[in-house]
């Protein structure tokens, strides 16, 4: 018997998939020299690095098997870093929109990928808090 759609939770794998989509999309669009002027390569590199930070942090967090409070703290730290970096990336996107005169549709699609990655990471962090939060409370 399957779980009804409204009652399904997001899997960690889906969080990773959303982040990978964000990273690959960011690399793909920023590699177009007709849109992203190479004279701003330092800024472009920062944007790509920020997207990579989001993806790598989620990947690393997902690789931590939570057995104790220390594991949970590290996993949560990585999750929160990914969320913060997604927010930084959203800021960088607003600068890129103005700097490179990005078309509305291209910009909106990119922003949606970043917002989705951030939202999925938040849901995962919150789910982990319900699942593992007792480890920290018990350790204190």
Task: Write out pLDDT tens, residues 43-64.
Answer: 999 999 999 999 999 999 999 9
CA pair distance 32, 64, nearest whole angstrom: 36
What contacts 82, CB < 8 A, 6 or more positions away?
Answer: 19, 53, 54, 57, 58, 61, 117, 121
Query: Using CB atoms within 10 A of its CB, is residue 116 exposed (0-12), middle (13-18) or buried (19+)?
Result: middle
Six-digit token string for 57 = 């942090």
pLDDT surpassing 90 at residue 92: yes
Q: What is the pLDDT of residues 8-45, one digit of tens each?
A: 455 558 999 999 999 999 999 999 999 999 999 999 99
Scan for tokens 């990336």, then name that residue.
89
Angle at 133 between CA 15 and CA 70, to 5 degrees: 85
Counting residues of the chain whose pLDDT is more than 70, the rounded percentage is 90
pLDDT surpassing 60 at residue 3: no
pLDDT surpassing 60 at residue 122: yes
- 127: part of which helix (H) or strand (E)? helix 104-139
CA pair distance 54, 96, nearest whole angstrom: 18
Mean per-residue pLDDT, 96-120: 96
The SS3 of residue 75 is helix
pTM: 0.88
């Amino acid at each position: 018997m399957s779980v009804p759609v409204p009652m399904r939770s997001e899997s960690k794998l889906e969080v990773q998939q959303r982040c990978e989509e964000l990273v690959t999309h960011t690399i793909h669009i920023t590699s177009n020299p007709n849109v992203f002027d190479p004279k701003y390569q330092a800024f472009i590199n920062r944007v790509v690095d920020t997207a990579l930070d989001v993806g790598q942090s989620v990947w690393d967090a997902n690789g931590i098997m939570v057995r104790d409070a220390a594991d949970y703290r590290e996993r949560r730290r990585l999750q929160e870093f990914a969320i913060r970096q997604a927010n930084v990336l959203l800021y960088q996107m607003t600068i890129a929109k103005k700097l490179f005169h990005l078309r509305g549709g291209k910009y909106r699609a990119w922003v949606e990928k970043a917002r989705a990655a951030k939202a999925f990471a938040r849901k995962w962090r919150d789910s982990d808090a319900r699942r593992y939060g007792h480890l920290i409370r018990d350790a204190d």
